A = this chain, B = another copy of it.
Amino acid sequence: MSDVAARAGVSTATVSMVLNGVNSTRISPQTQQRVREAAEAVGYKPNSVARSLRTQQTRMVGLISDTIASTPFAGRMLAGANDVAREQGHLVVLVDTERDVEAERQALQALSGQQVDAIIYACMWHRVVEVPEGLPGDAVLLDCAPASGGRAAVVPDERAGGMAAVRELLAAGHRRIAFLDAEKRFDLVASRLRYEGYLEVLADAGIEPDPALHVRAEPVAGGGREAALRLLELPEQRRPTAMFCFNDRMAMGAYAAAHHCGLSIPGDLSVVGYDDQQLIAADLDPPLTTVALPHYEMGRWAMEVALGLLKGDPAVPHLMPCPIIRRASVGPPPAQFGD
């Protein structure tokens, strides 16, 4: 920088002001011009480390996550956070702790040592977490809710998502709608919330929920198949005409079961999934109607409040809508069940 100053015949202070556009009204255009030319000539590159030391702002935000690797959704969240960061001229420092407490401690220490301007604590699937000790109070939680409140957080609105799914089926004329849920032992908050949504919509429609239509299995394709098979073995009058599946993988299994029983989708059976998981939802035959998880949007939101663009309410997690994606797996119930 002193090179530039010398070359332009001014002081470093002037160079700094010109190049940062600060107080630019107070510096003569000719000088500004000279400075810029000198900077260009010297190939001047500002040193952000020095600037950060001086300004106490690094324009970096730390993103600590439990596992970037394991879910295809992680990327969407990162992308959202990244995009906002870039728009704001910030960089994101990523740390993957693999859910290890010691690693989390180290990460936090490294990040605070690095003086990041903000911290986002991200989970790769929706859950409630005991936040690590030492997480700054203004850190924002992404795809998780704090066990003991008091922090800005964003999670998908699973309840509304479940409602949307069931409404879709209701609108198509179904009355006997099953919910293929995840087993309780997985202790998924999404499971509870989606089920609540299911129940609420049924209640609103004046339909008495049939406990036989709420089945649980492992939330993977195999589990979905098995659960769907159980449902399809019910006597005809009790058999569901539609299935709302906890996730797309289970929906995939439901397809397999329908196929096995010689049932066509959506002719004989309608199916709705959840997650809008790439490589499944759109690739199934017929393409699956499902509820999308708003990972990109949550990533954006988290970064926006982290950077102070938005105000997060510490009292209660922000609920991000889960849009329903209409494809071709929902139709009217088979004739004998119609009205």
Interface residues of A (CB under 8 A from B): 45-50, 52-53, 58, 60, 67-72, 74-76, 78-79, 82-83, 86, 89, 91-96, 103, 106, 109-115, 220-221, 249, 252, 256, 277-280, 283, 285, 296
In the complex, chain B residues whose CB is within 8 Å of the CB of A96:
78-79, 82-83, 86
Give the one of A71, A74, A277, A278 with max B CB within 10 A: A74
For residue A279, give the distance in angstroms from its CB to the closest CB of chain B.
6
Asked if B91 contacts A92 (CB within 8 A), the reply is no
Can you report 7 A-B residue pairs in the complex whose CB atoms are below 8 A from each other? A49-B49, A49-B52, A69-B296, A74-B75, A82-B95, A92-B94, A93-B93
A238 to B71 CA separation, bound complex (whole angstroms): 42
Q: Which 9 A-B pairs have the closest CB atoms?
A: A69-B79, A69-B75, A72-B72, A48-B113, A94-B94, A82-B96, A48-B114, A68-B75, A49-B52
Asked if A78 contacts B86 (CB within 8 A), the reply is no
Asked if A45 contacts B112 (CB within 8 A), the reply is yes
Q: Select A109's contact among B45, B69, B112, beta carbons within 8 Å.
A: B45
Asked if A82 contacts B94 (CB within 8 A), the reply is yes
In the complex, chain B residues whose CB is within 8 Å of the CB of A47:
53, 113, 115
In the complex, chain B residues whose CB is within 8 Å of the CB of A92:
93-95
In the complex, chain B residues whose CB is within 8 Å of the CB of A109:
45
In the complex, chain B residues whose CB is within 8 Å of the CB of A93:
60, 91-94
For residue A288, give the distance in angstroms from its CB to the closest CB of chain B.
13
For residue A51, give the distance in angstroms from its CB to the closest CB of chain B.
8
CB closest residue in chain B, given A111:
B91
Asked if A82 contacts B110 (CB within 8 A), the reply is no
Asked if A94 contacts B113 (CB within 8 A), the reply is no
Q: Select A94's contact among B46, B70, B78, B279, beta carbons within 8 Å.
A: B78
CB closest residue in chain B, given A284:
B221
In the complex, chain B residues whose CB is within 8 Å of the CB of A45:
109, 112-113
Q: A47-B113, A86-B96 are in contact. List 14 more A-B contacts (CB 8 A).
A: A47-B53, A49-B53, A49-B58, A49-B114, A53-B53, A68-B82, A69-B79, A70-B75, A72-B278, A75-B75, A78-B94, A82-B94, A91-B95, A252-B283
Q: Select A110's contact among B72, B91, B111, beta carbons within 8 Å.
A: B91
